[in-house]
Amino acid sequence: MRQFGTIFKFELKSYLKNKIFVGVTVLLVAVIAAVMFFPSLMDGIGGTTGGSDSENESGASSGTEGLMLFFAEGVEGEEMLLASFEEAFSDYEVGKTEDSEERIKERVASGEAKCAFVLRSPTSYTYYVDNLSMYDANTGIADTVLGNVYQVNAMTKSGMTPEQVTEALNVEILGETENLGKDQMQNFFYTYIMIFALYMVILLYGQMVATNVATEKSSRAMELLITSAKPVSMMFGKVLSSCLAGFLQIVAVFGSAILFYNLNREQWGDNYIIASLFDMPVSLLLYMLVFFVLGFLMYAFLFGAIGSTASKLEDINTSVMPVTLLFVAGFVVVMFSMSGGNVDSLLMQICSYVPFTSPMAMFTRIAMSTVPVYAVAASIAILIVSVIAVGVISAKIYRVGVLLYGTTPKIGEILKAMKRA
């Protein structure tokens, strides 16, 4: 135990003193701070929106998009059409004009007016704009307005009173949704972030574990260490220290995000996406931590064992490729299932019990579906047993790997060496 403690402290200090580790952590916290404080900075630069001349006391804007010319001379129901356009295009200053069509084009082209609608009849028009934006939805709004006005006039002519027309067009449809399970859309965002964070941390720190082990082996320092410490203590010390370092980095990043969000909660207002990210249930947060730690340990042990078999530092990327591809395959399966909304497919259910994919698959199902308690318990139990088994086997490979130099050994050679050891 003393050997494990010594190795654990040494490896953890090397992570915490690493300039790249500290720099990346500080950079991520700074980016999070910039994002969370962005609304406050905009308010400070542009002033409060409530005191703007372009908005009234209720916050409704008036003419913020510029002047919209409206021409409907000789068209039946001209005044009603104008009033409807003013209501529908509240962001524009809708101005009735009697200019000729050529003059209207000139005013739009010169920038005097933002755009113009020239009505030829109650159901046809020409829309003039200088530069048509890919997000321009004015014609869609105009189609809806003209359609509504035409319906009102048609029903009025058929004998319906204005009150009856209003009642028919504004009938209230009452719908109620009662969710008996999980709201996938509500949980999608923080589930995606957790899976993506696990993906990045495993690939980053797993590669670091493998690289550190290979570096020690290439410098012959591992031969000295292996004679004074047990392989199990060395392997578990290296892996657990990297796990704790990664966990501390994640706590720093996500903890600062929560802190900065609470400081700027009012500025973010009712932003659904941002609010859903920080409203994660406590039970789901605990599941996230359990699967995150176990999943990290599983792959860190594998990366450490593979790193001990590499003869040269340059061989690391090639050696760890099979494990990396295995993890990426699980990540792709989970991402496709999340995007399709089918997180309870047969493939996902199988992946929920396979130790190499269960940290991502089972957590996704817990967050976005209803999973029986016994199924969750079975998945966690299998994962814990697998982590311990992989850790012990990795320690044995680590012990044998330090003595294997030259070409990268094959699996059969490693198994034979483990039997002799």
Q: What is the pLDDT of residues 341-351, one digit of tens each?
A: 788 889 999 99
Q: What is the pLDDT of residues 188-245, one digit of tens each?
A: 777 887 788 778 877 877 777 777 776 766 655 555 555 555 666 777 777 788 778 8
pLDDT for 317 equals 75
Is residue 198 within 8 A of residue 295, CB to CB? The reply is: yes
Q: How many CB atoms lie within 10 A of CB 146?
A: 21
Strand partners, 117: 70, 127
- Residue 410's contacts (CB-CB under 8 Å, 6 or more residues apart) are none
Residue 85 reports pLDDT greater than 60:
yes
| pTM for this prediction | 0.62
Please give the Cα distance from 174 to 160 (Å, whole number).
25
Highest averaged pLDDT of the listed ranges 36-50, 91-105, 407-421: 91-105
- Burial (0-12, 13-18, 19+ Cβ within 10 Å), 207: middle
Which phi and psi angles does 408 have, rounded to 5°? -65, 125
Lowest mean pLDDT of 51-60, 157-166, 344-353, name the range: 51-60
Give the pLDDT mean for 30-37.
Answer: 82
Is residue 195 within 8 A of residue 295, CB to CB? The reply is: no
Please give the Cα distance from 110 to 104 (Å, whole number).
10
